[in-house]
Chain A
Amino acid sequence: MHIMEGFLPATHAIAWTVASAPIVAYSAWRVKKVVEENPNTKLLLASSGAFAFVLSALKLPSVTGSCSHPTGTGLGAVLFGPWVMPVMGTIVLLFQALLLAHGGITTLGANVFSMGIVGPFVSYALYRMVRKSGGSLQLAVFLAAALGDMATYCTTSVQLALAFPDPVSGVLGSATKFLGIFALTQVPLAIAEGLLTVVVMNILTKFSAGELKSLKILNREAQA
């Protein structure tokens, strides 16, 4: 999902940066607040960021014969709400842009928008929906992580399509082409990300029940 350095026209690069910057700034304030309000969850917050750090470093093969990577942003979004993730996503993407030449500074705004904002918000919305309709924690976490991952890659496809509409079939035709690459490749990886996120959540319910209760993840079970 990394749009490479210089691969968005300047107007698009600036527009996505302007869209993402205030959200990241607000996110930084929310992270500070979460730490102040629940100091005992500080380490868990760091671990959620660490999870995104690991998963986005793993480039996995897909059935399409190409490779891509999960995002790892669903876990933190479910645990702490989506607002803490834009900062986490920015840290991961900056590391990769500056040290790995993956993504870039000019495309950072667009990449933060897809991985740090759209993905986590989709994850959180799905998590809440599944839980509200009585689905299990595991199912909610799986769908949140897997579909948040897909949402990130679909966003990247749309961003590229807006910047590079097909001369004949326009933005829609171009979006189909980019989705054909990103979304298809991502399907098995998104499933893997969903499963891995459930694995971590299972470990947390066993060993970190206290923190999950203060974050209201385990409230339901405690009352039942």
Chain B
Amino acid sequence: MSSILKSNKILLALVAALVIAPLALPITGEFGGSDDQAEGVIQQVAPGYEPWFSSIWEPPSGEIESLLFALQAALGAGVLCYYIGLRHGMSKRKD
């Protein structure tokens, strides 16, 4: 059974490599969001298009935005890891 956890280590190393590679390789790019690039294409294809609605609320700064993104990730990781920890503990108690 521990072979599963061993293969997880390899899989996580592969994920890390996939994320690090673009930064380590000599790639030209600003690493901006693809959503913003798509906006560029819209302006190129339909130069006259004006967005007809704007966000009700926007984070006032990059700091606040990163706060909320971190909160989103932390909430998700918190619930997921609570569950895994709970099941881990329960399976140990059964043994």
Contact = CB atoms under 8 A, between A and B. Distances in A.
Interface of A: 1-7, 9-10, 43-44, 46-47, 49-68, 95-102, 104-106, 156, 160, 164-167, 174, 177-178, 181-182, 185-186, 188-189, 191-192, 195-196, 198-200, 202-203, 205-208
Looking at chain B's contact residues, the main secondary structure is helix
7 contacts: A2-B35, A4-B51, A100-B59, A101-B57, A188-B21, A195-B18, A199-B8
Contacts, number: 186
B14 A195 contact: yes
Interface string B22-43: 1101011111111101110110
Contacts of B56: 98, 105
A178 B46 CA distance: 13
A74 to B, nearest CB: 14
Nearest to A197: B11
Looking at chain A's contact residues, the main secondary structure is helix
Contacts of B38: 3, 156, 160, 178, 181-182
A184 B57 CA distance: 31
A66 B4 contact: no
B67 to A, nearest CB: 10
A46 B83 contact: yes
A63 B78 CA distance: 30
Nearest to B40: A181
B34 A164 contact: no
Interface string B42-84: 1001100101111111110000010011101101111110011
Contact of A63 (B21, B30, B58, B73): B21
Contacts of B69: 57, 59, 100
Interface residues of B, number: 60
B53 A188 contact: no
Contacts of A54: 72-73, 76-77, 80
Nearest to B46: A164
B65 A100 contact: yes
A67 B73 contact: no
Contact of A65 (B11, B27, B45, B88): B27
Contacts of A200: 80
Contacts of B59: 99-101
B29 to A, nearest CB: 2
A188 B21 CA distance: 10
B42 A7 contact: yes
Contact of A192 (B18, B33, B34, B70): B18
Nearest to B30: A65
Contacts of B72: 53-54, 56-57, 95-96, 100
Contacts of B77: 50, 54
A21 B29 CA distance: 38
